[in-house]
């Protein structure tokens, strides 16, 4: 469908604005692009972020380093691109049941994903982002913001249908709910699993006070 194509293209546009450019010159080789992305993801999985090196990706993909540098401004950007599609696919945002049930389902799913093989990749990207502003901004733009937007809508829906109090601080609530993942993943090294996510959800929904 045309619309889907457009969305796809917009998603890609962040790193490949060139795709839209018309004019003479050889076109970007899609096969190469895919080979690089695939090699990048494989490297991330096989070596972790520590072994995620432009040289390694070049070697594994058969592409030249220069080609990678031409299209991705930094290691982090490549890493994000390489696993974003896969991640998106595995993390749909449920919108079917009650707001609190949807929230719980979403947190459970996220815990499952973050607790699995994507966890250390995400951790690596965020780590890289601490010394590379572009990377962390890209992470924000492509991963955080869309999902936070969904969270915002979910909470608004909950307010609208009377599940949540109308005076809650939505930002703070999202900080509490999703921040916990970052703390456990990055600093506390505690496991992330659906059961924990459920407890977290319950705790924040009900609050601490009597």
Partner DNA sequence: TAGTAAACGAGACGGTACGTCATGTCTTTAT
Partner DNA sequence: ATAAAGACATGACGTACCGTCTCGTTTACTA
Q: Residue 72: phi, psi to the nearest 5?
A: -125, 130
Of 82, 90, 140, the residue nearest 116 (C-alpha)? 90
Query: Should residue 130 be labelled a site residue for DNA when binding is judged by CB under 7 A?
Result: no
CB of 122: closest distance to its own copies in angstroms? 9
**CA 165/CA 93 separation, integer angstroms:** 22
Closer by beta carbon to DNA, 14 or else 113:
14
Closer by beta carbon to its own copies, 16 or else 182:
182
Closer by beta carbon to its own copies, 8 or else 184:
184
74, 135 contact by CB (below 8 A): yes
Angle at alpha carbon of residue 104, lines to 156 and 187, rounded to 5°? 105
Q: Contacts with its own copies in 172-191 (CB under 8 A)? A: 172-173, 175-184, 186-190
Containing 160, the helix (H) or strand (E) segment is helix 145-160
Among 4, 17, 66, 96, binds DNA (CB under 7 A): 66
The conformation of residue 146, written as its DSSP 8-state character, comes to H
Here's the x/- map for its own copies, 104-143, by CB under 8 A: it reads as: ----------------x--xx-xxxxxx----xx-xx---
- Binding footprint of DNA on the chain (CB under 7 A): 18, 21-29, 32-33, 35, 51, 53-56, 62-67, 69-71, 74-75
């Amino acid at each position: 469908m045309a619309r889907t194509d457009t969305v796809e293209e917009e998603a890609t546009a962040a790193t490949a604005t060139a795709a839209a450019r018309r004019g003479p010159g050889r076109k970007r080789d899609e096969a190469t692009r895919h080979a690089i992305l695939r090699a990048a993801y494989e490297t991330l999985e096989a070596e972790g972020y520590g072994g995620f090196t432009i040289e390694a990706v070049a070697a594994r993909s058969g592409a030249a380093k220069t080609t990678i540098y031409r299209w991705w401004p930094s290691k982090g950007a490549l890493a994000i691109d390489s696993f974003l599609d896969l991640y998106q696919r595995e993390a749909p945002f449920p919108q079917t049941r009650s707001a609190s049930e949807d929230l719980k389902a979403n947190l459970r799913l996220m815990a499952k994903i973050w607790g699995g093989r994507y966890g250390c990749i995400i951790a690596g990207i965020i780590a890289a982002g601490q010394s590379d502003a572009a990377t962390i901004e890209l992470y924000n733009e492509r991963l955080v913001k869309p999902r936070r937007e969904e969270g915002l809508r979910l909470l608004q829906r909950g307010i609208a249908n009377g599940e949540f109090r109308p005076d809650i601080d939505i930002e703070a609530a999202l900080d509490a709910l999703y921040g916990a993942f970052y703390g456990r993943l990055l600093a506390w090294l505690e496991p992330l699993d659906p059961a924990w996510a459920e407890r977290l959800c319950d705790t924040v929904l009900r609050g601490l006070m009597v």
